[in-house]
């Protein structure tokens, strides 16, 4: 018996709640190629389906072409073509999709 079990801590139900939702479809947006690569790698390790782009305008085009393709958008704030806040505003106005 582990110390957690003796203390009435974690059980299988708690462990299941702590896991990432497998298969979540994420659009990652960042103009920095290193940050984009790191973020994409981390998301893949969480068993997410990841699409990456280095331009907010491209991300918006992809979202407009197929709104149901993504569950979540993760965006940088400072990008040369459009900042992340503007992307958040446009996504919020046009579709019901969480943006981080």
Q: What is the pLDDT of residues 60-97, one digit of tens each?
A: 999 999 989 999 999 999 999 999 999 999 998 999 89
Neighbours of 92 (CB within 10 A): 12
Q: Hey, is 52 helix, strand or coil?
A: strand
Q: What is the pLDDT of residues 35-69, one digit of tens each?
A: 999 999 999 999 999 999 999 999 999 999 998 99
Indicate if the pLDDT at residue 6 is higher than 60: no
Q: What is the pLDDT of residue 24?
A: 95
Q: What is the pLDDT of residue 8?
A: 57
CA 35, 37, 39: angle at the middle one, nearest 5? 65
Structural domains of the chain sorted by starting position, each given as residue range(s) with its CATH number in brackets: 22-94 (3.40.50.2300)
What's the predicted TM-score (pTM) here? 0.79
């Amino acid at each position: 018996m582990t110390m957690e079990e003796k203390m009435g801590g974690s059980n299988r139900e708690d462990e299941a709640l702590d896991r990432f939702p497998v298969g979540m479809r994420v659009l990652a947006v960042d103009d920095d190629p290193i940050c984009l690569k790191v973020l994409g790698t981390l998301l893949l390790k969480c068993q997410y389906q990841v699409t990456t782009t280095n331009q907010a305008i491209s991300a918006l085009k992809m979202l407009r072409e197929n709104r149901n393709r993504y569950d979540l958008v993760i965006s940088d704030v400072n990008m040369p073509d459009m900042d992340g806040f503007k992307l958040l505003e446009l996504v919020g106005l046009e579709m019901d999709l969480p943006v981080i």
